Amino acid sequence: MSSVLLVAHHERAEAAGLARSAAAWLRHHEHDVWVTAADGAALGLHDLVAQRDPATADLVISLGGDGTMLRAVQLLQGAAVPVIGVNVGLLGYLTEVEPEALSQSLERWFAGPTAGHWQIDERMLLDVMLFRSDGSPAGTWTALNEGVVEKLESGHTVRLQVSIDGAPFTSYAADGLILSTPTGSTAYSLSARGPVLSPRMRAVLLTPVSPHQLFDRSLVLDPTEAVEVELLGHRSATLSVDGQPAATMAEGDKVTVAPSEQVARFVRFGERRFHQILKAKFGLTDR
């Protein structure tokens, strides 16, 4: 018997219905299935709620889009639990399974990698660390997509000093600065005109948001190159991780990023070519 955690989109009725269907299939096959209290309350799945650590699950099933996949990874906090992504909504970069194929995908998963013809796609994670101006640690978060230091006040920029491997690089006057993984290169960084990186790479991508200076290019760094961002001046900033607010920053506070020792583990049931997903997402043609 396996323990399976369902993580579902809170605002899509189809996700709640799929959660019910998945739970029925899993229970019929004598597996333990549950949801967090937040999902149970949002989706009316009160009978599935259990007070457990998500890291104790054997499998996570994400029912939604890329945002739900991000939430599933955040819940795991680096635990080596595989995630099956079921696409409820538009074409996503991370989700794997269409709703009508959910039962078949579960059969393939429980048959094992050889009989079920599936494999694990490992994705780099970033440890995002915040230090106050006196050097005291203020928090550590794990990001699949990115950590972002961004302005709080509309109509103003923030000044951010970037150091690489302990040496000052430059200061940015900008709306913010994105520190992303290759997976995150198709998220916020892309909208800020950052490059698209293959998710098979290990790299840290530094992309400024609306910089007020001539140097406005992204940097693609080796993950061993330590990156530090210090907030200069009197204006406050906010730190967010994978789109969720994490902390408020004041003058002298610093954010550092480093590759996590853990990885996100996504279940893939067939050959998944990133460039073909990108092609479909943007409606690119062969000519």
Write out the catalytic residue numbers. Answer: 66
Pick the closest to residue 188 from 160, 150, 156 (CA basis).
150
Cα separation, 57 vs 123, whole angstroms: 19
Do residues 4 and 102 make contact, with C-beta atoms less than 8 angstroms apart?
Answer: no
Could you tell me which residues come within 8 angstroms of residue 255 by beta carbon, excluding any fewer than 6 positions away? 128, 129, 130, 131, 147, 149, 179, 228, 229, 239, 249
Indicate the pairing of strand 119-131 with strand 137-143. antiparallel
Going from the C-alpha of 191 to that of each of 129, 186, 207, 208, the distances in angstroms are: 24, 8, 10, 11
Indicate the pairing of strand 176-180 with strand 137-143. unpaired
Lateral strand order in the sheet of 244-249? 219-221, 204-209, 176-180, 146-151, 237-241, 244-249
b (16+ CB within 10 A) / e for 267-276: bbbeeeebee
DSSP conformation class of 136? -
Distance of CA 102 to the CA centre of its chain: 22
